[in-house]
Structure 1
Amino acid sequence: MSRIIVTASTRLELSELLAATSASALPDAGHVPLYRTEMRGTEILFALTGIGKVNAASAVTLLCERYAPDLIINTGCGGAFAGAGLAVGDLAVADSEYLADEGVRTPDGWRGLDLIGIPVYEGRGERLFNRIPLDREMARRALDCATVGGFDTVLGPFLTVSTCSGTTRQGEELLRRFPGVCENMEGAAVAQVALMYGVPCLEVRGISNMVEDRDLSRWDLKRAVGQVQRFLALYLAQVADNRPGMR
């Protein structure tokens, strides 16, 4: 039986999927709250990792070791960068992830991990510093599925940060470091661990806010997580039928 693991940092980001799939809690999943369902012969596990890179990496490592997934899908909300063509309530699909905080603050400004010369990942002929690749063909198929389903969706690089950008100025600084359409707090960690275990990884997020001077009156978290979960219900059914990109 094929196995998919869907991860998010909070229950709100998975609550509609848990209800829609009638997933039930697994009692002995360690420190990661985990829920299980089955769809057309495919087992689907939903995992609540907690916020941030450390929680995400710890949870996904445990899940890969214990459950050997065929596909990991990381989801939740995100902030859209200016010029990305995204609005609140839209979806963003990652074709790559950047560790946007890891680096060196020099007298000449911020520099990435390549300045130190120590990669975060080395294997399969690759030395990776800040950029973590995702399966672009899988991302493209997800984009096509979302478009056909009527979701306004953009494909592009995501930036993972430890400190959310609460100012327009900070967002502009991040874009000077790396290209990006969406900011989040877990994606690069999930992608890196998945890469280490050789598991295909897809990341799709609902846009809850723009990366600008922080103004919660302009946010819509409920709409963002609702839209992305409705899309994932559609996508998971497609994967269960066709198993695209799975081993």
Structure 2
Amino acid sequence: MKTGLIGAMREEIQLLEHDIENLKVHEYGVRKFYEGTIGGKEVVMVLSGWGKVAAASTATTLINLFQVDQLVFIGLAGSLMENLRIGDIVVADKLIQHDVDLTRLDGLGTINPPFYKKFKFPVRKGAQKRALEAVKQFTYNLHGGQYPEINAKYQPTIHIGAIGTGDQFVASRKGKDKIVDKHPELFCTEMEGAAIAQVAADYRVPCTVIRIISDNADDDAHASFERFLFEDISKISVEIARLMFV
């Protein structure tokens, strides 16, 4: 099985480049695709950049040009639930584009919707299981002291739930409440996952998304995100990504 591994930012996955054997680097457009093997399993790693269009473009290239069998996205997200702490890890069971609103088209029964009317994409059980196993192994290793480079106080809780995607960095209580009012089932919000899930649904390719909570999507979000980004994110996300290939 060939895996397309995506991160929006260099800090989220780029260090994994050193683990890729038989490395070949391809350039398509503005992106570099790192192809090879990890633990004998085929991988193509790429940075998508921020936002739904960037994520969808990247996923489409991985499927059409590299013929990957599954898509995996790992990165940061803002919490939408009070019980999620900064550093907790969310494994998606559903991906929702929270900024799509077609309610004004309800009742137009004579018009066939263009492929999707509800932009909600469930994660296949097999893909979710593989992601959850990697995250559980990471926390097991963490508790066993196998990552001395990660702050010893870091003890994340694992959550399984719906992840929301929109083309906005949510950094106000008002913005957060607006999303929660519309989609109370969402655990966290980010800018790429559900766009990748839509492309995966188009091509019938399984995908999974793993998100590490970097902020509370409130008025302190920018400062919290920046602190988390430059502390342990690379070490955490790269270790989780590596365990996807064990």
Deviating more after overlay: 30-39 vs 174-183: 30-39
Equivalence map 1:1-247=2 (5 Å): 2-21=1-20, 24=23, 26-83=25-82, 85-103=83-101, 111=103, 122=115, 127-150=116-139, 152-178=157-183, 179-219=185-225, 220-222=228-230, 223-237=232-246
Q: Deviations over 1:150-187 (max 9, x none)?
A: 25211110110112211112111101111211110011
Deviating more after overlay: 87-96 vs 14-23: 14-23
Q: Deviations over 1:206-244 (max 9, x none)?
A: 21111211354433123234322211211221xxxxxxx
Count residues with an aligned counterpart: 225
CA distance in 1, matches of 2:136, 2:168: 31
Q: Deviations over 1:17-63 (max 9, x none)?
A: 22344684513444321112213432111011111011111121122
What is the TM-score of this pair, normalised by structure 1? Answer: 0.80
Q: 4+ residue runs of structure 1 moved beyond 6 angstroms?
A: 115-121
Q: Deviations over 1:182-209 (max 9, x none)?
A: 1100111101001111111010112111
Instruction: Specify the SS of the correspondent of 1:87.
Output: coil
The answer (yes or no) to whether the contact 2:11–2:229 under 8 Å persists in 1 is: no
What is the TM-score of this pair, normalised by structure 2? Answer: 0.81
How far 1:144 moved relative to its partner?
4.0
Instruction: Specify the SS of the correspondent of 2:170.
Output: coil
RMSD: 2.5
Percentage of identical aligned residues: 25
Instruction: Specify the SS of the correspondent of 2:2.
Output: strand
CA distance 1:87–1:23, shift in 2 (3 Å): farther
Structure 1 gap ranges (5+): 105-110, 238-247
The answer (yes or no) to whether the contact 2:130–2:244 under 8 Å persists in 1 is: no
